[in-house]
Amino acid sequence: MTALLAQSSLITPSVGLVFWKTVAFLIFLYILYRFGWGPITDSLEQREEEIESSIQRAEKALAEAKEIQKENKEARRNAEQKAQEILRNARQSAEELREEEEAETRQKIRQMKEQAQAEIEREKQAALQELRDEVADLAIEAASKIVKEDLDRDRHRELVRDAIDDFPTN
């Protein structure tokens, strides 16, 4: 029964108990307001400022990153254009060099051909001159044979045929 009595006293409100609980709660609120509320609100405000500062720094970093990305894209585009221009110039230079080399080769071939034709012409003229000299020698020899012998017409023809037969076949 004492347990039941102790239990019922806790459930039933007592004016003194309510008064002292209210006084204790008000003292707790005063102490909390006096010593805890200021530091808590200050730390919350400081934390809010830090968060706001972090957000601003993050937004600034994001803007800088976007600007850097834009600059990088522009730089990459410029580099690609320069690379294409360099390739075009290199191809053009290679084509010009190839054309120059072809022109030089054609010129050398033309000179060698002209030299060969000149050499052939000289050799031909030398061979013709040698042939003329030999024909002249044969003609002189034939004439001297004819002059030495005063022969009739048939004999002259026979001597000329013999001289012609004596010519080399080349």
Q: What is the pLDDT of residues 134-147, one digit of tens each?
A: 877 777 777 777 66
Which amino acid belongs to residue 63?
A
Residue 149 lies in a domain: yes
Residue 42 lies in a domain: yes
Residue 15 lies in a domain: no
Residue 154 CA: distances (Å) to CA of 32, 98, 139, 162: 167, 73, 18, 12
Number of domains in the chain: 1
The whole model's pTM is what? 0.40
Residue 28 lies in a domain: no
pLDDT digits (tens, 9 = 90+) for 104-138: 999 999 999 999 999 999 998 988 888 877 877 77
Residue 16 lies in a domain: no
Q: For the chain, how far is it from start to end, CA to CA, in angstroms?
A: 164
Residue 64 lies in a domain: yes
Residue 9 lies in a domain: no
Token pair in block for residue 105: 């080769």
Residue 126 lies in a domain: yes
Q: Whole domain around residue 87: which residue ranges?
A: 34-166
